[in-house]
Structure 1
């Protein structure tokens, strides 16, 4: 253990992607509120890609990429990466020389905390190494191991028992949806997504000039080509690649046609288009902006600096999860559109199960029939009492991990951007 408290966050920040950056910012902000004198390490996908405002939230924040690199370097092993990462953390001499200092830091932490998101599933089985590495580090140090707000659906094939065994080695295993809680069984604590720790904090405070209709879309059903970072894309002439590309283009065209029809039917005076994951969204956003009249782009960097562009009275069309959460928290109405039911559908249902009145629609853009155009939503967002309840539930999870009570003079929740 270190003389100064050392809190070690393991986060998907640095992809960068809106929800992942905000989850990281949520916990860094929490530690700034309760432990400004502690050392805080953020182990993230790519420290150089972390959006700049996050870095200023805690005076003693340091960014590294240690557990993530161990997972990436054992990528081909799939679920077996958990064994390789555990071995490297238990005996740093087995790790590559450039990671040994980072592993030493991990093994000294008072708390090692895997923050939330939907990355422990069948799409990225090697990320089970994050859990095994955390368990190995805290079993060495006597520190506290936790994960919060994770989604585990769909589980990796033959990976359910491994996930349950890894979660059982943590002091706190908190998940955000019912299906994930059922997968873990008695080990799990079910609360909600980590962003509910500050559900009102990320809203744009100057929202009067925001468009009355907002669109958040992607067509990256399996963004595995973006992991590990820097991996070569499949060659254009690779077997099956041309067919996959044609299917992707057809699916993206179908999604944009659906969005265009919905925007027209909803009578939008102006449309805002939200960027969440620049690398993954580039093509679909360019096509969407070209197809929609009077479209205005809200970039990821703008949103993280100015605040999330939502207000009461808006109508949202969103395939993405965190725009659903944040817009509903701001009082906006919306339709959540699932492009893959076992993954995105589970995520969106976790919000409607927690009180979001948004309509849910499934969009099989690769199916033989055009999806139905949803009616303009008008049900609004979360009730204030619901947000307060979710925030209180998430704060109880935080207190189980860190042992802090309410910070003296700290606001219950605040407005503004990262």
Structure 2
């Protein structure tokens, strides 16, 4: 069976690459499964030398090629889109894996979904979408009809469920690893403060400079934390640590370690049950919550606020704070150690629903869609959104 997994992969984002690896693991349980991957870049991060194919597979590339044909305001025809499929393999199913890439922040991905839907309809194969974050969304009845015409539409947060009420709601696809999460970590001998801040949301370097002061180092030492681990969960998170600051931390008995998203995929998340995490990255929050590690979730806009709050809905216990309050929140934890525990039973329940959904997909027995958008309807979506 030839399976095409489509996702926001290849760009070095830890969360999206983690989802990809989780879905590959599930599909690898099938007999004679050949896995193809469509991503917006070729830099896939795969663990355990996973065997996937990226040639003659990429719907992102199909969309970009079609977009060139719209120069000068020209509309795409059904024949042009059908002809674009000739460069692809013939797949047995298409699966849009989870993530927050099909929404009004990147509206041309609505066209991506419609293009893949047209391929599925022409070849009479199922098309699945799981763990999607559709917020913020465009209030467009055509888009709702498209989502509801997929063989499966599954979302990860309440706002997305509000947009598509008929969707199943089994949380993020990373929950596939709920029962395996400790095997995807590496044990640290000493507890650490783990920091993962996105510098494109706010001035992460300035936040770091404000945090890493003498008073802060003294509190960390009093808390018996021995290390600061800075996680680069995506390439744009890279925050330089001046050598003098690194040496200053050593004077307090604190080592500063840097860890990339690629290292997390290949070697596992650094784990000590007494560590504490401060992160603006959604999947750092989710995975450490799955591990039962305390932390603070930081947001810089409503998109990330919704994402972090959705983890609370899944059973997470981290406080969700605006980026302006990072220092006060951390000092509060260092001084009083007040944080909510994770609701393990709630997270286990939703993880079980996620596993069940994937089992039904793999067995080809999911609850099918109730709508059936026409090729003409999908074409209208492509022409409206491919240029946005």
TM-score by length of 1: 0.74
Q: Does 1:179 align with 2:171?
A: no
- The total of aligned residue pairs comes to 344
> For residues 32-77 of structure 1, what are the alpha-carbon distances to aligned partners after superposition, in whole Å with 9 as ceiling and x for unaligned?
12x1412221112223x112436x335xx31245211133446699
Residue matched to 2:92 = 110
**Alpha-carbon shift at residue 196 of structure 1 (Å):** 0.2
Cα gap change, 1:69 to 1:253, in 2 (>3 Å): same
Matches within 5 A, 1:216-295: 216-221=196-201, 251-257=203-209, 259-260=211-212, 264=217, 265-267=219-221, 268-278=225-235, 280-282=236-238, 285-287=239-241, 293=249, 294-295=255-256
SS of residue matched to 1:179: helix
Is contact 2:93-2:125 (8 Å) kept? Answer: yes
> For residues 293-337 of structure 1, what are the alpha-carbon distances to aligned partners after superposition, in whole Å with 9 as ceiling and x for unaligned?
331001222211111123322110000000001111111100001
Rg larger for: 2
SS of residue matched to 2:178: coil
Cα gap change, 1:200 to 1:392, in 2 (>3 Å): closer
> For residues 324-351 of structure 1, what are the alpha-carbon distances to aligned partners after superposition, in whole Å with 9 as ceiling and x for unaligned?
01111111100001111x2101110110
Residue matched to 1:62 = 53
Q: Does 1:140 align with 2:132?
A: no
Cα gap change, 1:298 to 1:289, in 2 (>3 Å): farther
> For residues 51-110 of structure 1, what are the alpha-carbon distances to aligned partners after superposition, in whole Å with 9 as ceiling and x for unaligned?
2436x335xx312452111334466999xx9x8597654x12xx3xxx7322xx2xx322
SS of residue matched to 2:271: coil
Q: Which one of 4, 7, 18 corresponds to residue 11 of structure 1? A: 7
Cα gap change, 1:84 to 1:199, in 2 (>3 Å): farther
Q: Does 1:213 align with 2:193?
A: yes
SS of residue matched to 1:361: strand
Higher relative contact order (CA 8 A, sep 6+): 2
1:289, 1:115 → 2: CA distance? 41
**Alpha-carbon shift at residue 210 of structure 1 (Å):** 5.2
**Alpha-carbon shift at residue 162 of structure 1 (Å):** 3.7
Segments of 5+ residues of structure 1 without an aligned counterpart are 222-247, 406-418
2:310, 2:317 → 1: CA distance? 12
Is contact 1:328-1:380 (8 Å) kept? Answer: no
Q: Does 1:29 align with 2:25?
A: yes
Residue matched to 2:380 = none
**Alpha-carbon shift at residue 172 of structure 1 (Å):** 0.7
SS of residue matched to 1:139: helix
Residue matched to 2:375 = none
